[in-house]
């Protein structure tokens, strides 16, 4: 029986998505035969409330020198991280004397670039290609997985960190105790650790099952984060919901008793109790809803295909790997996936092997339907693709329910 990565209690599995490839493992035809697969299943821990994958592939299979996710591909996320940085500077750095800022999973520098010109800083980014893109902008970056050992070395070289940042990274790291211990060690006495990750409350409320894929080994809640970091002497002092990546939560932590927790923390924990995030039944009910969505999407696409309609996917997101392979979407159903990331173009989607093509191919010959895999960027995408709708094209989305949506009705999260 698998044990919780946080508290070693026996886990309760609640959904199995079947065999899955590496979500960002876009590949060439010659690589099809050797593609790696693992069992994607999700569990709940009744003791510490952490939702987590039963199995996660070895980290080197996901993060390496040809990692396909470049954070800066989204204009909306670039704006979000500019706001995030401004808030951190105004709240925690304005009075500090020559502060040190460290970011874990800094990728191509989308957030750290707002600090690099003014503050001592260091990005920790194991995927060498994206780290290199950050260095090209003058952002100091070390290409390593964060660990207690690296925390010690950073401490020796730069002194304690006044702010440690992370976005969409903490929930990727299976050995989360090593990260929490390293962060606690590196953090200055009055320092703050701030991270934001996809939020379990949104995943449950919206049935956004596509948030589960190899990289997301954990799906955090305030309750589970508080318990985990308390073991390392860190306390959650503030939380705030964020309208990105389908619904995220930002957590601010400090050394125990260094700062007074705001009322937001207790209020969100109370909300989590109301949502039932601490009860196993919530997850089994959620599974039924997800299975229903899977069947509805498959049936809708099959019907359109039978009617001779052309369907194209929009956004070769990591999340789409779960949707495509779980719902049985094949190259016969989906002509191709349009994506702006050069490293993905000309390759095939993981598992189902649907071609990924540049956005120009979408615009050159609009399909009848576009399946919006990048639903978290719905507003940005639908705004710039007005010509598609004018051509008579329609958007299909599957979160929170499977339906055709019009631009003025869309509710992005």
Does residue 169 touch ligand TMP according to CB under 6 A?
A: no
Query: Total residues at the site for Zn ion (CB under 5 A)?
Result: 8
Minimum Å gap between C-beta 213 and ligand TMP is 10
How far apart (Å, rounded) are the C-alpha atoms in residues 188 and 168? 23
Report CA dihedral (168, 170, 173, 178) to the nearest 10 degrees.
160
Q: End-to-end alpha-carbon separation of the chain, Å?
A: 36
Query: Total residues at the site for ligand TMP (CB under 6 A)?
Result: 14
- 172, interface contact from ligand TMP, Zn ion, ligand SAH, none, CB < 5-8 Å by kind: ligand SAH
Task: List own/partner pairs for 83-91 with CB under 8 A and 24 or more apart.
Answer: 84/111, 84/167, 84/196, 84/250, 85/111, 85/114, 85/115, 86/114, 88/163, 88/165, 88/194, 89/114, 89/115
Does residue 42 touch Zn ion according to CB under 5 A?
A: no
- 318, interface contact from Zn ion, ligand SAH, ligand TMP, none, CB < 5-8 Å by kind: ligand TMP
Minimum Å gap between C-beta 247 and ligand TMP is 13
Q: Which one of the spans 47-55, 152-160, 265-273, 338-346 is the region binding ligand TMP (CB under 6 A)?
A: 338-346
H helices of 343-395, in order, are 359-364, 378-384, 386-390
Nearest alpha-carbon partner for 276 in 228, 205, 343: 205
Sign of CA dihedral 403, 376, 24, 326: negative
Residue 293 or 318 with smaller CB distance to ligand TMP: 318
Does residue 213 touch ligand SAH according to CB under 6 A?
A: no
Tally helices (H) and strands (E) across the chain: 14, 17
What are the two backbone dihedrals, phi and then psi, of residue 159, each rounded to the nearest 5 degrees? Answer: 85, 180
How far apart (Å, rounded) are the C-alpha atoms in residues 262 and 250? 13
Does residue 4 touch Zn ion according to CB under 5 A?
A: yes
Residue 153 or 298 with smaller CB distance to ligand SAH: 153
Residue 208 or 376 with smaller CB distance to ligand TMP: 376
Q: Which one of the spans 26-34, 36-44, 157-165, 334-342 is the region binding ligand TMP (CB under 6 A)?
A: 334-342
Minimum Å gap between C-beta 334 and ligand TMP is 15
Nearest alpha-carbon partner for 236 in 210, 255, 220, 209: 255
- 45, interface contact from ligand SAH, ligand TMP, Zn ion, none, CB < 5-8 Å by kind: Zn ion
If you ran DSSP here, which 8-state letter would residue 73 be given? G
Does residue 199 touch ligand SAH according to CB under 6 A?
A: no
Minimum Å gap between C-beta 136 and ligand TMP is 20
- 6, interface contact from ligand TMP, ligand SAH, Zn ion, none, CB < 5-8 Å by kind: Zn ion
Q: Which one of the spans 49-57, 126-134, 142-150, 246-254 is the region binding Zn ion (CB under 5 A)?
A: 49-57
Does residue 73 touch ligand SAH according to CB under 6 A?
A: no
Site string for ligand TMP, 69-108 (x = CB under 6 A): ----xx----------------------------------
H helices of 89-171, in order, are 113-116, 128-135, 148-158
Does residue 125 touch ligand SAH according to CB under 6 A?
A: yes
CB atoms within 10 A of CB 342: 11
Residue 169 or 235 with smaller CB distance to ligand SAH: 169
Minimum Å gap between C-beta 275 and ligand TMP is 24
CB atoms within 10 A of CB 334: 24
Sign of CA dihedral 359, 365, 371, 375: positive
The footprint of ligand TMP (CB under 6 A) covers 73-74, 315-318, 339-341, 374, 376-377, 380-381
The footprint of ligand SAH (CB under 6 A) covers 63, 67, 69, 71, 104-105, 107, 110, 124-127, 130, 145-146, 167-169, 172-173
């Amino acid at each position: 029986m698998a044990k919780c990565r946080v508290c070693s209690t026996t886990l309760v599995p609640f959904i199995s998505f079947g065999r899955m490839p590496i979500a960002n493992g876009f590949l060439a035809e010659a690589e099809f035969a050797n593609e790696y697969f693992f069992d994607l299943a999700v569990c709940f821990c009744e003791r510490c409330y952490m939702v987590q994958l039963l199995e996660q592939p070895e980290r080197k299979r996901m993060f390496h020198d040809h990692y396909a996710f470049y954070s800066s591909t989204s204009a909306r996320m670039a704006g979000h991280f500019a706001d995030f940085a401004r808030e951190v500077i105004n709240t925690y750095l304005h009075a500090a004397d020559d502060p040190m800022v460290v970011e874990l999973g800094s990728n191509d520098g989308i957030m750290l670039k707002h600090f690099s010109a003014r503050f001592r800083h260091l990005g920790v980014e194991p995927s060498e290609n994206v780290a290199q893109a950050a260095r090209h902008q003058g952002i100091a970056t070390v290409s390593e997985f964060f660990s207690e050992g690296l925390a010690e070395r950073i401490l020796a070289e730069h002194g304690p960190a006044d702010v440690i940042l992370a976005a969409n990274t903490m929930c990727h790291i299976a050995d989360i105790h090593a990260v929490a211990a390293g962060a606690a060690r590196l953090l200055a006495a009055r320092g703050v650790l701030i991270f934001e990750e996809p939020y379990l409350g949104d995943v449950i409320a919206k049935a956004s099952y596509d948030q589960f894929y190899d990289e997301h080994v954990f799906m955090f809640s305030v309750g589970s984060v508080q318990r985990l970091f308390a073991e390392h002497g860190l306390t959650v002092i503030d939380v705030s919901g964020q309208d990105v990546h389908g619904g995220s939560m930002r957590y601010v932590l400090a050394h125990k008793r260094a700062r007074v927790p705001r009322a937001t923390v207790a209020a969100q924990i109370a909300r989590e109790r109301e949502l039932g995030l601490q009860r196993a039944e919530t997850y089994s009910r959620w599974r039924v809803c997800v299975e229903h969505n899977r069947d509805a999407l498959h049936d809708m696409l099959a019907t359109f295909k039978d009617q001779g309609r052309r369907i194209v996917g929009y956004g070769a997101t990591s999340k789409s790997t779960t949707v495509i392979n779980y719902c049985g979407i094949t190259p016969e159903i989906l002509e191709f996936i349009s994506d702006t990331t050069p490293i993905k173009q000309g390759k095939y989607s993981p598992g189902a092997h649907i071609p990924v093509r540049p956005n120009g191919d979408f615009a050159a010959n609009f399909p009848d339907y576009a399946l919006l895999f990048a639903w978290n960027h719905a507003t940005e995408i639908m705004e710039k693709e007005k010509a598609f709708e004018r051509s008579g094209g329609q958007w299909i989305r599957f979160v929170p329910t499977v339906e055709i949506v019009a631009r003025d009705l869309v509710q992005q999260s």
